[in-house]
Structures are given as structure tokens and as C-alpha cells.
Amino acid sequence: MKVTDHLRFVIPSLLGVFLFMTPISTGDGFTIPIAILANRIQGLLGNFLSLIMLVIILITAIMTVVAKLGGRKLFSSTPFFKNLFNVSIFWTITRVVAAIFAVMVYFQIGPEAIISPDTGQLLLDDLLHVLFAVFLFAGLFLPLLMNFGLLELFGTIMTKVMRPLFRLPGRSSIDALASWIGDGTIGVLMTSKQYEGGYYTKREAAVIGTTFSVVSITFTLVVISEMGLEQMFLPFYVTILVAGFIAALIMPRIPPLSRKQNSYITETADGIDETLPEGYNYFTFGYKKAIERSQKETSVTKFVKEGGQNVLDMWMGVAPVVMAFGLVALIIAEYTPLFQWLGMPFVPLLELMQVPYATEASETILIGFADMFLPTIIGSGIEAEITRFIIGALSVTQLIYMSEVGGLLLGSKVPVSFFDLVIIFLLRTLITLPIIVVMAHILF
């Protein structure tokens, strides 16, 4: 192997690790370079971001309708746009509804339930700003993590851990690490791209997307600060790790995830061969595979093109889903007692576990399905520190939030349905709640 072969693997991979996984100290605590870049672009574009997201959602809806009316031959010369705009009737309707919602919110037309600061404006003027900025840089630079051998190296090394514990390929450890240090949305994006590339089976993609797209350290800091328990960050995060680890052991082994097919997205996909040839250990074989993968990347134009396609895929594939599903979920949460009713069965359980303010806490348990910050907002006023601790930790370990990870999963190619996400959310709640309560009683 030439020196250039080693450098082609090492330099882009180190740059990817730096951008996505290296915590950097800022005035507000620790964050990653991608998040810093995202914050800078949000600061530069400011209020224009709402208009930009409106235009993106409108173009997506119009092009999807055009593709639906024009038939499958319309974008046949450009496979990327064909896949992006040729979607099922359900997703066509979703994109049109999202466009209508976005117009109503931007121009403040229509019922208060849709355009209020707690519903439509929260999405269009806040969350979608974050998604625009994060997706811009994550999409452009994601090939650094995925295309230059890093997945091959870590995938081979981590096989002995990920296979027996979680029944997953070793390379899924990178998805989890990117989520943990960076952002859950990055983990979902990586999982979707790996699945589309034929590296994960349907079951593996569903497990990784719903179990390992964990909430970032950065957002966990936001949650515990809102709860007024900043001094307990370390035990708080240890509690989340313990509960999340146990959930990750159990979830792949029970329905609905255990019933997902062990087949690939296409019949021609080869998957990943994780057998170790004679004469190699896991590191040397992983390094050899990494070099072989990096040798395929010889064009800067291809790198830029793939990054640009990632960005468009995320903006146009995900933003309408978040706008449509997220807004409906927030309206239900804000204007109906549905989540209060749904929380009532948890009151006896919380009382049995000796959780103070059980009734108030029960209202927060299922509302996290709409948005992961809602339990924190509602529960921050509860007097008992132990109850706030439990609510905060549970909201982080539930993972499936329709305004973010849930919406992203539905908008991606990962094979999970809305019904799957509901069941997974409930199962994660039932598995992690007792663990968190036990940890909380030990700590308090």
C-alpha cells in the first residue's frame, strides 16, 4: 500500500471524527463542531430561515404532486429526484398538508391552534431552523464518516461486542456514537443511508434507528437545566445510560423489532461479511478493509455531489414530515386532554413506586411522543426533585419523538411504520421507567 492510500483513509476520517464526535468547550458548555457551524448559520440567516423552510416545503409538495401526475417516467433520467419525489399517495398527501400548514403559520392565517407560538410557530420558527442548519452541514460532511473507511474499521473491531449483545453489525456502533456525542438526527440519517446502501437488513435498520439514535449529551444538558438539577448531571446521565443499555438489550429481542425481516432493501445487496480471515486480527483486518474502501473515493466532485444530495434528501424528505406530524401532535398535546387521559393508568404504578406527585407526573409520561421537550416543560414546575429527575430521565430514554426522531424515521427509508413507533415508544417507557425510578430512589 502507498502512503497516499493511508492518508486517503486517515485524513478524511479524522476530519469526520472531529466534526461529528469531538466535544468542544464553548461559553454554553460542550458541543461539537457541526453544531457550532449550525448555530453560526442560524445566526447569519436569522429570521430568513422560516421563509427558506417554507419555500423548501412548498417546492417539495409541488414537485411531488407533479411527479404523481406525470407518472414514473417524469424523472427517469435522474434517479435521485425520482426517488425523492416519486412517493406513495400517503406521503404525497402528507407533503401537501405540510405545505398548507407552513403557509398558514408563516402568514398567520387560520385557527390559533395551528398558528400559535406553542404549535406551528414552535416548529416553523424554531425546530425547522435547527433542522435546516444541522442538515446542511451534517449532509455535506457525512461522507467523511461513511465513505473513507471509518465504518469498515470500527465495524470490524466492534463486531465482537455488537453482535452478541445487540444482534447488530459492528459498524452500527458509529451510528450510536454519532448520536450520543452529536445528535439523534445524525444517527437516523446515517442508519437510513447505510440501509439504502445495502449494509443493514430491514431488522437491523429498524433496531438501530429506534434504539441507538440516542439523545445527544448536549440536549441532555438542556433537559436537566430546565429541570433545575444541573448539579446532578453526572448521576442523571449514568441513569440514562443504564436504562438505555438495558432497553437496547431487550428491544431487538421482542416484537415489533424482532419480527422485522432479515432481508436487505434490494435482492442485489451483499450486506456485510463479518468473518475474520486467517492471519488477521480484528484491528488489522478492519484497517485493510478501511484502506480498500477509501481507495474507491477518488473524485472531489463525487464527494460534493453526494453531500449535496444528502442535504436535499434531508430537507425535502424530512421537513414536511416534521411539519405535518409534529404540528398535529403538538395541537393534540396543547388543546386536548388526550395525554392526561392516557397518563391516568400510570398513576397507580407511580404511586406503587412511591413517586411523589404521581398524578402530575403521569401527565408527562406519554406526552413525550409528540415532542421530547414537552415532558420537561410540563414537569419543571413539580416541587419534588426526585419526580423532576424521573420525568427528565424518562423523556430522554423514550427516544421516539414525532417532532424529531419519529418524524425523521417516517420520512426516511428505515422500514418502520407509525404503529411500530407507537408500540416501541410504549415498550421503551415500560422498560426504562422502573429502572429510572430505582436509580432515583438510590440517589435521593
Q: How is the chain split into domains, by residue range? A: 3-443
Provide the pLDDT for residue 183: 62
Q: pLDDT tier at 254 (50, 70, 90 boundaries)?
A: very high
- Cα–Cα distance, 105 to 120 (Å, whole number): 6
Q: Mean pLDDT throughout 322-342? A: 84
Backbone phi, psi, residue 98, to 5°: -60, -40
Mean pLDDT, all residues of the chain: 86
- Nearest residue to 179 via CA among 334, 319, 21: 21
247, 257 Cβ separation under 8 angstroms: no
pLDDT exceeds cutoff 70 at 24: yes
329, 403 Cβ separation under 8 angstroms: yes
- Cα–Cα distance, 164 to 178 (Å, whole number): 21
pLDDT exceeds cutoff 80 at 371: no
Strand 29-31 with 24-26, pairing: antiparallel
Which of residues 93 and 171 earns the better pLDDT score? 93
- Cα–Cα distance, 54 to 108 (Å, whole number): 13
pLDDT exceeds cutoff 60 at 398: yes
